[in-house]
Amino acid sequence: MKKVSIAIILTALIITVAFITLKAYVVLPAVLLGVLLIGYRELWSLVRTGKMPPFDERVRDNTNSSVRNALVFFTAIAVLLMLIFSLNWAWRPTLLSLLAGLFVAVSAVYFLSYLFYDRIEPYLDEKGQRWLRNFLIIAATSIGVFILSFVLHNAVDAVLKYEEGVFFTIAVIIAPLGLAVGLLGSLGICITKLITQKR
C-alpha cells in the first residue's frame, strides 16, 4: 500500500508540474485535493500514528468499490460534457475550469464512497438499507426523467414548432424536486448513521 501511495503522490506531482508549466494554476488545488482524498486514510494514519494502517480484505473491498464508483461517475460526466459540447449552446466553460471541476468531483465521489463503505454501510440495518435504496432510486429516476423531458421538449419544439409546457415543467420543477428529495433523504440516513454508529 505504501508503494501505491507513493505512486499516486508522484503522479500528482508530475501533473502539478505540467499544469504549472502551462500556467494553469486554477487546477492545482483540485489536483492536490484529489491526492489527499484518494490517499486520505493512509496519509492521515501516517500523520497520526507514524505507520500505515493494516490493508485487510475489507479495506481492499472498500477501495475497489470506491474506485468503481468514481470511474462510473467520471464516465457519466464525460459523456454529459461531450453532449454539452456537441450542442450549440452559449455556455462553453474553459478546459481548465472543466478539468478543475472534474478532479474535485471525482475525488469527492471517491471520498464519499469510501466513507459510506467504511463507516455507514456496516451499521445499516435492513430498514435503513431499504430506505436508502428507495431514496437513491428516486434520485436516479429524477435524473433520467430530467434528461428525457429535456430531450422530448426540444424534439417537440423542433418538429412541431410548438412551445409545449408539460415536458418543460417536468424538467424544470418536478425532476429537480425528486432529485432533491432523493439526495436529501440519502444524506439524512448517512449522517444519522455516522452520528449514531457504535464504536
Residue 12's alpha-carbon distances to 15, 60, 100, 118, 182, in angstroms, are 5, 22, 13, 25, 34
Residue 26 lies in a domain: no
Residue 186 lies in a domain: yes
Q: Which of 76, 2, 99, 10 is nearest to 45 (CA)?
A: 2
Non-local (6+) Cβ contacts of 134 within 8 A are: 185
Residue 195 lies in a domain: yes
Residue 177 lies in a domain: yes
CA dist 145 and 179 (Å) reads 10
Residue 170 lies in a domain: yes
> How many domains are there within the chain?
1
| Residue 62 confidence (pLDDT) | 81
CA dist 42 and 165 (Å) reads 52
Q: How far is CA 179 from the centre of its chain?
A: 15
Residue at grid coordinates 428525457: 148
CB 41 within 8 A of CB 113: no
**Which grid cell sits at 64?**
475497489
**Which grid cell sits at 72?**
462510473
Residue 165 lies in a domain: yes
Q: What is the pTM of this model?
A: 0.64
Full pLDDT tens readout for the chain, 199 residues: 556 666 766 776 777 777 777 776 666 666 666 666 555 555 555 555 666 566 667 777 887 888 888 888 888 888 777 766 666 555 666 766 777 777 778 877 887 888 888 888 888 888 988 999 999 899 989 988 988 888 888 788 878 877 778 888 998 899 999 999 999 999 899 888 878 765 4
Per the structure, the complete domain to which residue 189 belongs is given by: 125-199
Non-local (6+) Cβ contacts of 96 within 8 A are: 24, 26, 27
Residue 93 lies in a domain: no
Residue 41 lies in a domain: no
| Residue 199 confidence (pLDDT) | 47
